[in-house]
Structure 1
Amino acid sequence: MSNAPTVSVVLGTYNGEAYLREQLDSVLAQTYPFLEIIAIDDGSSDSTVAILKEYSARDTRIKVVVNEQNLGFIRNFEKGCSLATGRWISLCDQDDYWLPDKIKKMVEAIGDYPMVYCDSILCDENLRPLGTRISDLVHYQSFDDPRQLCVFSRMYGHATLITRDLFTRSRPFLKEVPHDGWLAYHATLYGGVLYLPEVLVNYRQHAANVFGVVGRKKKKPATEDKAVLKKRELQRIRVRMQAYCDACPESLVPQKRLLRALVRSYRDFSPLNDIRRMLLFFANYRRLLVVKNYSTPRKWLFCLKMLVKIK
């Protein structure tokens, strides 16, 4: 361990005073000692920055960066990762709790993979376990094909360890795609994603989560017309699929072929494209829906729904 490479922990913060101390304590208690902790704040108005500076004064491994203007959580993490100097990068949210061996076990597991991810257990706002792991809700496994993650991705940033090279290959991040899903997709292009089937994170669920569990966005009060919101969501999905297609190299012939076909089928809700989209999902449901913890009949029903919706 004396010659072990550094892991850069990139901690993104924004008005996180409520749970930040517990998270910082769990990071500093890691049994893997060779860490740099880049705490990048996105313009908090509470005591978040004061807490970060307090911890930084006590531990020189912590570097605090405060953005001059709010970047949003995706760009904030991208900026934090760009400052990392370690061989590996570990993404860190402000409100979870890492078990002591999290980084050590992930470093030992990653090998030549560009990404490894672990399991998490859901906890309430006081970190009391709720008895459910994320792997109880979705199908977790290792991935080596971009078709497996081009529609759904359930790798959460807090549970991942990536190489700095993967981050470089994945830039720039897109505002339309969560950064953890974007990184996981690119990992399938450059060596695959390894699953470590062990709970190493207490994943706190509370009212201020940016995203709820299993990728469902937290519900917010409707302030815009539903038609406008729907149009924006469809545009986001189309941008994501086009970006995934563009990132896939020509050498991956069958993968590129399916991605191009999906891009074409996502252009509009014309009857022809609705049928194309449904048939593509039926023909490829084992890959496109692999992360869904569904029975085969339920996956078929999902494919049938592609006649009237886009995912």
Structure 2
Amino acid sequence: MTTPLELSPQSTVTICIPSYNREDLVGKTLDSILAQTWPAWEAIVVDDGSTDASMAVVSEYARRDSRIRLLKRGRGPKGACTCRNIAVEHAVGRYVLFLDNDDLLAPFALAQRVQVLDDNSRLDFAIFPMLLFRGEPASADRQWNIDTGEDDLIRLLKLDPNCQGTGTLWRRDSFVRVGGWDETLHVWQDIELHLRAFTSGCQYTKRLDLPPDTY
């Protein structure tokens, strides 16, 4: 195991990962986190009742690096939203980022995102560009969180996902204040969360001029 890192809440990003039966991919997600140039992070994987070997994979990563923690969903309802909220409840970091267990971060992702929020204390969250790939990241051919010039709230009401959850970095206090993920939903969770954020007066920015940092 690595020497335990003293994590300051003021500088730490908590990466929240719900996980269910992804033994073939979750290790790649964790590898992309370990490759970050920003060292002040913790990754909390919340198991949603996996029946494959994925939790054994995560346990081995946690054994090797104390910044990785594995939790089991201890309450209902089952689903990714519940797991994400549980991770936030155990978070240390000032900032929270939500990844799925088949997502990958570019090595510069956390450093790029933290700088944006650190440079503007009034922001509750910031939205960053993402790329969609099939198979390997080199095949990425579609960008998410693009700007069309239309009002963001109008786009969400049209179910146009202009702020997919993985592309957002939140201040943890702001995320909690908005009310967290709606645990009754299994689709359109990102849209519902950001609708609440927009209509509650959250301050945000879109840094779609920056390089895509999530796949």
TM-score band, normalised by the shorter chain? 0.7 to 0.9
Change (3 A) 1:172 1:161: closer
In the aligned structure 1, how far is the partner of 2:92 from the partner of 2:62? 18
> Helix, strand or coil for the counterpart of 1:200?
coil
Is the Cα contact below 8 Å between 2:145 and 2:167 reproduced in 1? no
Q: Which residue of 2 aligns with 1:196?
A: 207
> Paired residue for 2:134?
124
Superposed structure 1 runs of 4+ greater than 6 Å apart: none
Unaligned runs of 5+ in 2: 1-6
| Alignment partner of 1:155 is 2:168 | no
Contact persistence 2:155–2:162 (CA under 8 A): no
Corresponding position of 1:14: 20
> Letter of the aligned partner of 2:204 in structure 1?
V
Amino acid of the residue matched to residue 73 of structure 1? A
| CA contact 1:141–1:194 (8 Å) conserved in 2 | no
Residue identity opposite 1:158 in structure 2: T
Mark the CA change 1:163 to 1:141 in structure 2 (over 3 Å): closer, same or farther: farther
For residues 107 and 164 of structure 1, the distance between their equivalents in structure 2, rounded to whole angstroms, comes to: 13
Asked if 1:87 is matched to 2:86, the reply is no
**In percent, how many aligned pairs have the same letter?**
25
Corresponding residue SS for 1:79: helix
> 2: CA distance between counterparts of 1:148 and 1:96?
24
Change (3 A) 1:131 1:186: same
Q: Which has the higher helix share?
A: 1
Query: Separation in 2 of the partners of 1:195 and 1:149?
Result: 15
After the TM superposition, which of the residue ranges 103-112 and 53-62 deviates more from structure 2?
Answer: 103-112
Selected match of 2:148 from 139, 143, 147: 139
2:39 matches 1:28: no
Q: In structure 1, give the amino acid aligned to 2:37.
A: T
CA deviations on 1:144-183 (whole Å, 9 max, x unpaired) are xx55534434311221100111221122532236443233
Indicate the SS of the match to 1:12: strand
**Gaps (5+ residues) in structure 1?**
203-311
User: 1:9 & 1:97 partners in 2: Cα distance?
Assistant: 12
**In the alignment, residue 121 of structure 1 is paired with which amino acid?**
L
Shift of 1:58: 0.4
SS of corresponding position for 1:191: coil
User: Of the two structures, which has the highest relative contact order with CA contacts closer than 8 Å and spacing of 6 or more?
Assistant: 2
**One-letter code of the match for 1:170?**
V
Q: Distance in 2 between matches of 1:97 and 1:166?
A: 25
Aligned CA RMSD, in angstroms, stands at 2.5
| Largest Rg, 1 or 2 | 1
Equivalent in 54, 60, 65 of residue 60 of structure 2? 54
- SS of 2:87 mapped into structure 1: helix
Contact 1:11 1:91 in 2 (8 A): yes
